[in-house]
Amino acid sequence: MFKRRDLVVVGGGPAGMAAAISAYENGVRDILLIERDQYLGGILNQCIHTGFGLAYFKELLTGPEYADRFIKKIRSIPGIEISLRSFAVNLKKDKTITYLKPGVMSIVRPRALIMATGCRERTREMVHIPGTRPAGIFSAGLAQRLINIDGLLPGKEIVIIGSGDIGLIMARRFTLQGAKVKAIVEIQQKTRGLVRNVVQCVEDFGIPMYFSYKVSKIYGKDRVEKISMVQVDDNMNDVPGTEVVIECDTLLVSVGLIPENELIEMAGAAIDRKTNSPVSKEVNKTSIPGLFVCGNSFKVYDYVDSVTKDSELAGKLAAEYLVGHP
């Protein structure tokens, strides 16, 4: 048996909170927000560096500071019910959603649904790096969580694959924790990160970056012992005689993000196979009426401020939909 709600928001990160608050401000009074973690804030909780909020708040904030402003606001709104430690596991085309809490399974059918489930990181397997499968290989986001939330240092001699923003930020973070970042390896001819992160996280610390290189093999039995990398030409073919071997105990993979949209695909929404984003001519909308997607699960944004603004639009669109579909 399912419960009926006006609006359900899945995801309690910056996108989900902004969408829920916006929906309330646009007249929705029955809102359930589902978050799988035990805290609101999403990925911002582990982003302890500054660089957030300049566009939205006109202030320079850390990730937790940015999240805290929305957490305080959403908790002050009586019309928004927050369900933490709630993991969405099934979604149907009629927007019926099943979620699990410890020891409890709940089914709810909202009149409108906003998915704010964020992204996941691409893995080693997705970039086809040969070699052994030892300990010491991490996604950059996992390494960030281990250091900033769990207080654990994943390794001491680091090689980072990819020059996206999270990889650049983690290069600085490892350095500040006393580890040595021996190389950032980028297959493209230029960085994929923001200029400010290249300057503040890499150049200021003298960390070497290798462009037009790829990691060609991983070595190690129980733990990563070394990697080899090779230069590539404009067609991504190996250049003979350019192989370099670097000894390390940790390899970070920072090769991009994928919108987390398996649930809306399960419901039958049209998905772009190249980007894993919903097929839509309008921001935040899907091919299923009343089902909206916002934040990094709609598309990958460079700035959380942009996530917030588009998620506020999603909340407004959901409110308008509810008015038109009583």
Candidates 3.50.50.60, 1.50.10.100, 3.40.50.720, 3.50.30.30; correct CATH number of 123-253? 3.50.50.60
The pTM score is 0.93
Question: Span 79-91, mean pLDDT?
Answer: 97
Round to whole Å and give the CA distance between 308 and 319.
17
SS3 for 36-98 is CCCCCCHHHHHCCCEEECCCCCCCCEEHHHHHHHHHHHHHCCCCEEEECCCEEEEECCCCCEE
Round to whole Å and give the CA distance between 287 and 117.
18
Round to whole Å and give the CA distance between 122 and 258.
7
3-state DSSP call for residue 214?
strand
pLDDT score of 15 more than 90: yes
Model confidence at 128, pLDDT cuts 50, 70, 90, reads confident
What are the tens digits of pLDDT across the range 174-229?
A: 999 999 999 999 999 999 899 999 999 999 999 999 999 999 999 999 999 999 99
What DSSP letter does each residue of 274-301 carry, written as one string? TTTEEP-SSTTB-SSTTEEE-GGGTS--
Same fold, 3-120+257-324 and 123-253: yes
Cα dist from 18 to 33, 121, 143, 151, 303, whole Å: 11, 23, 27, 29, 14
Domain parsing of the chain, residue ranges? 3-120+257-324, 123-253
For residues 21 and 127, the answer to whether their CB atoms sit within 8 Å is: no
Round to whole Å and give the CA distance between 99 and 13.
17
Q: First CA to last CA across the chain, in angstroms?
A: 22
Q: Superfamily assignment of 3-120+257-324 in CATH? A: FAD/NAD(P)-binding domain (3.50.50.60)
Count of CA atoms in the C-beta half-sphere (13 A) of 33? 35
Question: Span 79-92, mean pLDDT?
Answer: 97
What are the tens digits of pLDDT across the range 239-294?
A: 999 999 999 999 999 998 999 999 999 999 999 999 999 999 899 999 999 999 99
